[in-house]
Structure 1
C-alpha cells in the first residue's frame, strides 16, 4: 500500500474517531441533562405559562424538592405559621410586595389549594449552564465576585428586615447582579460558612431572560457542596401558592422616575427553629429547615445587606452593572438603595440597626461603591452600586 493511501486512511480514521467521540459526548451530555431535570422538576397538578416565557408548575406540597431530604421525607409536616418578631406590625408595612408582585400571577393566576408554585427548569436552562451538575449553585467556577455591602457583627442575630430598591441592571452573559440580605455564621476560610440569603437578582445563566427575580439561597459549607438557589435542590420549603422563588418581579424602578421597593424579612422562628422568609406586608413564602444547618441552628453571627456581581471578564473589567448602574453619590431616584435596616435580637424583638453600628465594604469602589446614612424617612439606609467598566473602572 502506498504512503498516500496510508496517510489517507489515517486521516479518515481520525475524522471518524472524532465524530464518534463527539456523538458519544453529546449523548452523554443529553443523558446527564435528562437526569438533572428529573431531579429538579416534579410532576405538576397544573401548569401556568407566564407572560415572560417562564413555566410555573403547581406541585403537590409534599412532592416539592425539599421533601427529597431524608430528614423531611417521612415527616407529616403541619403548616403552623411562625411567630412574628416582636415589634413587627404587619398592618403598618406599606412597602411594595403584595401577592401580585410577580408576572405569572399578576393576572390573578394561582396554584390550587394543597400545591405550591415551582419555576420549571428546562433543557434550555441547562444547555446555557457553565456546569450542569452545579446548576443553581454559587461558586466552583473560578469567577470573581465583587461586592458593595453594609454589615453588622459582634452580636447574636435572629433575623433581618429591610426594603430593597428594585432595578433591572444590565448584565453580561453568564454573569449576575443582585441585591440581597445575608444572615451568616462561620467563615468562608474555615469552609464552615452557613448562610441564608434573599432578595432580587438578574442572572443570565440561571434564567432565560433579564428580568429581576425574587430569590433565596442557602449553604452550610461555604458554597462547596451544599445549598442552591430557590428550589433547585432539596432545601427550601415553599408554602405560598401565589409567589414563587425564581419568578420575575414587577414593577421596576426607573432612573429619575418612580421608585419601587421589595420588603424582605428573614428570621428564625422560636418555635420550630426554622428560618422563614416573608416579603411585602407579611406574606410568608416558606422556610429553610433548621436541620439544613450547623452554625445557623443556633443564630447568625453577621448580617450583610447590599449588592454582588459576578465578573467573568479575563481582560479588563465587566460592564455588568450593580443596582441602578449609577454610583451612590447620585442619590434618590438615581442610585439604588436599601432602607429601614432592622435586626431581630435574642429575645425576638425587631429593632432599627443604629447607623453607628453599620460598617461598609466595597472591594472595587471605582466600579461599585456604597454610602451609609440615616434620615427621618429612610431610617438607617444606604445607596450602592455602579456601572462596572468605565474610565475609572478598568
Structure 2
C-alpha cells in the first residue's frame, strides 16, 4: 500500500529549514528544549507566543521529515523526474523510460514474493510516480574519509593479478567474449567489518575497457559499509564508473547516474532477513542487461521487478558491450601490520558448503542476441586464499555456482 507519511513535496533538510525560521524565533528559547536563556536588554519575552511558534515549527518539521525505518533510515518519496539522475544535462526535462524487452530464456513473474527491506516491513511503499530514496544526512558525509570521495569507492584494479588499496577478492569470472548482461542469485549475510574504513560486499561486476584509466563497470549486490551507512546492516546497492573509479560514478543515487523506476525498492536500504549459520538461507536474484533498442543497462531484482537503468551515455566502452563479467566477494583490508578480521560473505571458508559458506548460484550471461545463457568458461580465483577462498562447481539444480568467503585474520592469515 502507499505510505501514509509520504506527502510529496520538496525535501528541505532540517538544518536549512532552521536557518529559514531562526530569524523569526526569539533566541530566548531553544528549539530542542524550549528552555529560557539570557536575552539582550532591548528584547521583550513573550513565552506564550514563542511556545506556540515552537509547536508550529515542530509540526511542520514532522511533515517535512519522514519517520525513520527500523534500521534508522529516513526514506523520502521523490517524484521520479526529480531524482538525482535528472540533474544530468542530458536528462534535464525528461522522464524515466518505459521497460525494455527482457532477455530470451528469462521468465519473470513480476512479483516480489516477500518484503526484503526493513523500511518496507510494515507494507509501506511510495506512491506511483515517485521513487523511495534513502535520505543522506550530515552525519553520513562527516563519516567519509574525504568530502570529495563521499559515495565513491577507492580505486581498485580489476585484473586478477594485481591488488590496490587493500582491496581483496574471491571471485568467479568469464572473459574472452562479448557480454550484454549477467544474472545470479546471491545469499545474503551480515559479515563483521573490523572498522569504519573497511567494507565487505558481494556483487556482480559488468566490465569493459582496457583496465587502465578508461575502465567502465556496472555493479550491483549487497554490502556492509559502516563508513557509508553508519551501521553494520547488509544493504542493497548499485555502483558505476567510466574512468576506473577516479572522477565518475557513485554508489546508489548519490550522483546523477542511475535512473530508478521502482517505487517499492530503496537502493541503499537494509536487507532483511539474512542467512544464518547452519540455519535458514536467504538469497536475492539480480539481472543486469543491455536494452538492444536504446542501449541502456537495466537492473532487475527478484522475479521480474525492474529497479531502473544506467543510461548508455554514462559510459564509453559499455556503450557497446562488456568484455568481462565477475561475481563474488570483496573486502578492504586497512591494516598495515597483519590482516584485518573483516569477514567476507558468511565469514566461513568455501569448503564448509551449504548453510555455512556464502554462495552464488545459477550464474548466466546475456549474449549478443539478448539470450540468457549458461556460462561455459567460468574461472575462480582468490587473491588471498588463506584469508578468503572460493570453490566452483556445476549441477542440474544450481547450474554454475561457487562457494566463497572467509574470516580474514586467522592462524593461516595472521
TM-score, normalised with respect to structure 1: 0.85
Q: Aligned match of 2:241 in 213, 219, 222?
A: 219
CA contact (8 A) 1:321 1:386 kept: yes
Counterparts of 1:149 and 1:220, CA distance in 2: 21
Counterparts of 2:129 and 2:387, CA distance in 1: 46
For the pair 1:376 / 2:391, whether they are aligned, the reply is no
Give the match for residue 44 of structure 2: none
Structure 1, unaligned stretches of length 5 or more? 1-33, 36-43
Residue 140 of structure 1 and its aligned partner are, at CA, apart by: 5.2
Give the match for residue 83 of structure 1: 101
Q: Aligned match of 1:152 in 174, 177, 195?
A: 174
For residues 213-362 of structure 1, the aligned pairs below 5 Å read 213-354=235-376, 357-362=377-382
SS in structure 2 at match of 1:216: strand
SS in structure 2 at match of 1:90: coil
Superposed CA deviations along residues 26-45 of structure 1, whole A, max 9, x for unmatched, are xxxxxxxx89xxxxxxxx98
For the pair 1:392 / 2:412, whether they are aligned, the reply is yes
CA contact (8 A) 1:45 1:58 kept: no
Give the match for residue 52 of structure 1: 71
Q: Aligned match of 1:199 in 218, 221, 243?
A: 221
Residue 143 of structure 1 and its aligned partner are, at CA, apart by: 3.4
Structure 2, unaligned stretches of length 5 or more? 1-14, 17-62, 157-163
User: For this pair of structures, how many residues does the alignment match?
Assistant: 346
Superposed CA deviations along residues 289-321 of structure 1, whole A, max 9, x for unmatched, are 111000000110000000000111121100000
Counterparts of 1:312 and 1:161, CA distance in 2: 31
Superposed CA deviations along residues 327-359 of structure 1, whole A, max 9, x for unmatched, are 0000110000000000000000001113xx011
Give the match for residue 133 of structure 2: 118
For the pair 1:72 / 2:91, whether they are aligned, the reply is yes
Superposed CA deviations along residues 160-203 of structure 1, whole A, max 9, x for unmatched, are 00000110000022211000000000133x21100000000001
Counterparts of 2:268 and 2:122, CA distance in 1: 18
SS in structure 1 at match of 2:91: helix
SS in structure 1 at match of 2:223: strand
Counterparts of 1:346 and 1:140, CA distance in 2: 30
Counterparts of 1:56 and 1:322, CA distance in 2: 28
Residue 47 of structure 1 and its aligned partner are, at CA, apart by: 3.0
Q: Which one has a larger percent helix, Structure 1 or Structure 2?
A: 1
Residue 233 of structure 1 and its aligned partner are, at CA, apart by: 0.8
Relative to structure 1, is the Cα distance of residues 230 and 99 closer, same or farther in structure 2, using a 3 angstrom cutoff?
farther
CA contact (8 A) 1:362 1:370 kept: yes
CA contact (8 A) 1:187 1:222 kept: no
Residue 159 of structure 1 and its aligned partner are, at CA, apart by: 0.6
